[in-house]
Chain A
Amino acid sequence: DAGVIQSPRHEVTEMGQEVTLRCKPISGHDYLFWYRQTMMRGLELLIYFNNNVPIDDSGMPEDRFSAKMPNASFSTLKIQPSEPRDSAVYFCASSPRGRVQKTQYFGPGTRLLVL
């Protein structure tokens, strides 16, 4: 299995621009999570999906952030407009079907820098 795939791996953009991060979960996994890692706040959950349906988006910082999962093999996290404080590493993770309390597998992350 290829594991969780994220793209791009690195993104540099200017303040105000739209940024789209992409994730392909492990085939057969029903849960998909988006996390963000910063020096100040560590690793924190932004949103997660079960069977393509958003379950908890309470971690999404503000309306500039949106996430979609149009099918079982693809999810996007969009920031519009981006701000310098959005600079962070964004991780996608997936977990097998059944009880959600199973191992979560993380992708390599997207390192975002907003200038």
Chain B
Amino acid sequence: GIQVEQSPPDLILQEGANSTLRCNFSDSVNNLQWFHQNPWGQLINLFYIPSGTKQNGRLSATTVATERYSLLYISSSQTTDSGVYFCAVVYLGSQGNLIFGKGTKLSVKP
């Protein structure tokens, strides 16, 4: 089956710093989503981005489908950005279930 690998597994930032999270996937996909799981466990949709670039405030994401990777950029990080960031894909030919990476655990220090 498709492999979804995220890096780095852990990231510690000082408030105000920028960061880039990476997601590599091993097969063609027709759905890619980024989620933020907050400290209370809620999975929050950040982006639906099977290809191209999107921005939402301090967050932006880019997916290069032909090279099988996606990047999530966080600028001017805040303590509320702490949590785990998941990349999840639906691979081409699948009927729709998301395959999740193991996540990047982000801690933003004040």
Contact = CB atoms under 8 A, between A and B. Distances in A.
Interface of A: 31, 33, 35, 42-45, 48, 55-56, 59, 89, 91, 93, 95, 100-106, 108-109, 111
15 contacts: A33-B96, A43-B86, A45-B97, A48-B97, A55-B95, A55-B96, A89-B41, A91-B43, A95-B96, A101-B90, A103-B33, A103-B45, A104-B33, A108-B42, A109-B42
A103 to B, nearest CB: 4
The SS class assigned to the A binding surface is strand
Interface string B36-73: 00000111010010100000000000000000000000
**Interface size, B (range):** 20 to 34
B45 A101 contact: no
Contacts of A109: 41-43
Interface of B: 30-31, 33, 35, 41-43, 45, 48, 50, 86, 88, 90, 95-103
A104 B98 contact: yes
Contacts of A55: 95-96
Contacts of A95: 96
A86 to B, nearest CB: 17
Contact of B96 (A43, A44, A59, A100): A100
